[in-house]
Amino acid sequence: MYPHERSLVEKYADAPFAIVGVNSDDSLEALNAAMTDENLTWSSFFDGGGTGGPIAVQWGVTGWPTVYILDHKGVIRYKGRSDLDETIAELVAEAEKAKAGAQAAAAGAGQ
Amino acid sequence: MRSSVRRMLYYDGMMTHTKNTFITAAALPLVLMPVATAHGSALPQVTQQHQQPVTRVDDEADRLIKELITESEESDLGYVEAYKAFKPKFEQFAADHRGTEAEVRALLWLIQQTWWLRAEGTMSEAAMALTEDLLERHPKSKQLDLLVEFQYVFTKEQRAALFGSLLKDSPHAHVKAAAHFGLAKSGPAKNEDGEPNEHYQALLGPYANVKWRESTYGAIANSYLNPHPAEALAVGAVAPEIEGTNHEGKPMKLSDYRGTVIMLDFWGNW
């Protein structure tokens, strides 16, 4: 899945989009090695050094990878493992529209 | 060799696994059995008149057993075939290194791998026979917390008795904490008044700072006692905050990313 994630990062380099990982590798060394070896540019929470770590337990995650997509307001808009691209494209458009709207409103207020 | 394509890791109800290694799932259904516990980090009173066996540390043997485990994990054989091929090697290793922590590790591998006997219906019996020998000869080993990691090979009744005996007999806080963790998850997390069960209380109290993998028992107990309800994780809900640390140990928060679309990716380099 890394190539897919890398392509998303490239595609949305200038857009309001970020990958945030929750990593369940055994050690910080393993996480750092994965980031270096696979050229991963996004940040991850280190979840306690294994599956069943505190974040995964609180979120009820029992299968990896598990993916949530959140919109720019932090609302969960998608949960699953496939068909991410459409959801992301839709939400990035929404986020950009919201940003443009906010800028227009700010410009309007400034006049 | 690591593949650049991620393997799926899955949870089959007892444990999560990938290729030839498996990782215990934290959430296991257990039954709570009342067990007399010695809270706190005070050493248990030794009642036996005879001297208890002491498990020696042999650095060279430790190195060799790690190599053997790695070799078994990297084997191209299927799970069951790998178990059958490596079982005699671990048995021989244990015989050759009697009295050492390396022997304990070899015995623990044999106990863990009895999982592959479950189809034959002999898993728990085989696991318990090995465990009884292990506990008799190595009651003070510092690796007995792995018995809690590998608890899926035991029956519910065996687990309750086993964890109870670890609590009573081990001089090590991290072994006692593991036993409390196994027992904590074996019954209702909270009573009618919303109080955590006695084992979670031990993990939140005297054992809170004992290391659990790269985290602490306090943190992991807290996550079991406060899981996000389904509605908080449903589409349409504002995602719960996550506060943690990144690959450099620096603090990070999910809400730091507010204003952007987030792909929240639970992953591991399997």
Spatial contact of A73 and A47, defined as CB atoms under 8 Å apart: no
Q: What is the mean pLDDT of chain B?
A: 86
Span B194-222, average pLDDT: 96
Q: Taking CA atoms, what residue in B is nearest to A24?
A: B268
B86-99 pLDDT, tens digit per residue, is 999 999 999 999 99
Write the residue in A46, A63, A79 that is nearest to B244 by C-beta.
A46
pLDDT band at residue B28, thresholds of 50, 70 and 90?
very low
pLDDT of residue B50: 54
Question: What letter represents residue A95's amino acid?
Answer: A
- Cα–Cα distance measured from residue B161 to residue B12, given in angstroms and rounded to the nearest whole number: 25
Q: Are B262 and A60 an interchain contact pair (Cβ–Cβ within 8 Å)?
A: no
Query: Residue A65 and residue B6: Cβ atoms within 8 Å?
Result: yes
Residue B109 sits at the vertex; the CA angle it makes with B92 and B19, to the nearest 5 degrees, is: 115
Preceding omega of B206 cis (within 30 degrees of 0): no
Average of per-residue pLDDT across B61-81? 95
Q: How far is B236 from chain A (nearest CA, A)?
A: 5
Chain A positions touching B10 (Cβ under 8 A) are 63-64
| ipTM of the modeled complex | 0.88
Q: Give the whole-angstrom CA distance, residue B60 versus residue B156.
A: 37
Pairing of strands B261-267, A17-23: parallel
Q: In Å, how far is A110's CA from the nearest CA of chain B?
A: 22
Residue in B closest to A33 by C-alpha: B269
How distant is the alpha carbon of residue B51 from its chain centre?
Answer: 29
- Contact between chains at B266 and A77 (C-beta distance less than 8 A): no
pLDDT: which is higher, A7 or B15: A7
Angle at B108 between CA B47 and CA B155, to 5 degrees: 80
Is the Cβ–Cβ distance between B204 and B223 less than 8 Å? no
pLDDT at position B12 = 45
Taking every pair of C-alpha atoms in chain B, what is the biggest distance, in angstroms?
Answer: 68
B118 token code pair:
């479950």
pLDDT tens-digit readout, A31-52: 999 999 998 999 999 999 999 9
Which of A58, A61, A78, A90 to mutate: most B Cβ within 10 Å?
A58
Q: Does B262 contact A19 at a Cβ distance shorter than 8 Å?
A: yes
Secondary structure of residue B244 in the 3-state scheme:
strand
The predicted pLDDT at position A44 comes to 97
- CA of A99: which chain B residue's CA is closest? B259
Mean predicted confidence (pLDDT) in A57-77: 94
Beta-carbon pairs below 8 A across chains A and B: 223
A45, A71, A81, best to mutate vs chain B, most B CBs in 10 Å: A45
pLDDT at position B239 is 98
Q: Which two tokens stand for residue B177?
A: 């904490």
Q: Is residue B41 within 8 Å of residue B55, measured between CB atoms?
A: no
Please provide the DSSP assignment of B194-239 as one string: SPBPHHHHHHHTTTTTSEETTEEHHHHHHHHHSPPPGGGGSTTSBP
Contacts of B9 in chain A (CB under 8 A): 51, 63-64
Could you report the per-residue pLDDT of B107-166, keeping only the tens digit for each?
A: 999 999 999 999 999 999 999 999 999 999 999 999 999 999 999 999 999 999 999 999
* Residue-range domains of chain A with CATH: 2-98 (3.40.30.10)
pLDDT score at B235: 96
Buried b (16+ CB within 10 A) or exposed e, B222-238: bbbbeeeeeeebeeeee
Among B107, B115, B196, which Cα is nearest to B144's?
A: B107
Q: Which of B220, B265, B270 sits opposite A54 (nearest CB)?
A: B220
Q: State mean pLDDT over A74-87.
A: 85
A14/chain B closest Cα distance in angstroms: 11
d(CA B243, nearest CA chain A) in Å? 8
Q: Which residues contact A15 (CB under 8 A, 6 or more apart)?
A: A92, A95, A96, B261
CB A69 within 8 A of CB B264: yes
Non-local (6+) Cβ contacts of B60 within 8 A are: none
| CA of B256 vs chain A CAs: smallest distance (Å) | 10
Residue, of B25 and A62, whose pLDDT is higher? A62
Per-residue pLDDT, averaged over B216-245, amounts to: 96
For residue B25, is pLDDT > 80?
no
A48–B247: do the CB atoms touch at under 8 Å?
no
pLDDT band at A87 (very low <50, low <70, confident <90, very high): confident
Q: Which of A73, A60, A26 is nearest to B237 (CA)?
A: A73
Angle at B174 between CA B170 and CA B179, to 5 degrees: 65
Whether B42 shows a pLDDT value over 90: the answer reads no
Instruction: Among A16, A31, A62, select the one facing B260 at the smallest CB separation.
Output: A16
Model pLDDT, residue B220: 96
Contact B267 A21 (CB under 8 A): yes
**Distance separating alpha carbons of residues B55 and B139, to the nearest angstrom:** 8
Name chain A contacts of B150, Cβ cutoff 8 Å.
Answer: none
Report the gap between the CA of B240 and the closest CA in chain A (Å). 9
